[in-house]
Amino acid sequence: PDEASVPSRVPLLVLDSISGLVVTANMITIGLAADLPHQAGVFDAVDTGFACFFIFEFICKLFFNGFGRYFCGSDRCWNLFDALIVFTSCIDVIFYMSQVRVTGGSQDSLIRMTKLVRFTRLMRMGRVLRLRIFKELVLMTKGVVAGMRTLLWAIILLFFIVYILAVVARQTIGSHRIETNDAYGTVLFSDLLWSIFMFFRI
């Protein structure tokens, strides 16, 4: 990058460092909130603070990078994910403020909606993958995703072999109705599905 762009990147580097700490703290509070439901009000207030930080971070990055570079640059996938998190965070804040102000029967339906919105907080845990310390984990995840196609064909090949063996066993051994010496009087390879299951166990 040119020298003129270096000063504008310094705030972003500082913001990324702070964001890493905030994301880690948010992960810890999400776990604690699951074990301490009687402190839900406290964790809701804390989580609203995290949501406000994520909104502030999004605005700062949009300001320093510009709209086009932010959504069309090399990190556009992560940035779109951040934008989705900010959108759900805004909804989370709105529901929390509404829950504080609303009283009476209408609050029950609002609480139910708030519980649904809380599930979107789990998406924030995905932001931890952006931290540099998890670079190897991201590479490993990409390798697993890339290998899913090969794994799928391996499973199909395995099923094809099992199916052929099951058909052969059904037409040969199964036609003689050989019973085993168990309590159920099981007949070996009595039907095709049972034959497939037996070979799959082997």
Rounded to an integer, what distance in angstroms lies between the CA atom of residue 157 and that of residue 164? 11
Q: Whole-model pTM?
A: 0.57
The residues near 136 (Cβ < 8 Å, ≥ 6 apart) are none
User: Would the CA dihedral through 102, 106, 108, 113 be positive or negative?
Assistant: negative
Max alpha carbon distance in the chain (Å)? 85
- Per-residue pLDDT of the chain in tens (202 residues, 90 and over written 9): 444 444 456 677 777 778 878 888 888 887 888 788 788 778 878 888 888 888 888 888 888 888 888 888 777 787 888 888 888 778 777 776 776 555 554 555 655 666 666 666 677 667 666 666 677 777 887 888 888 888 899 999 999 999 998 888 888 877 677 666 666 666 777 778 878 888 887 7
Tokens 């804040």 correspond to what residue? 93
Nearest residue to 54 via CA among 77, 87, 94: 87
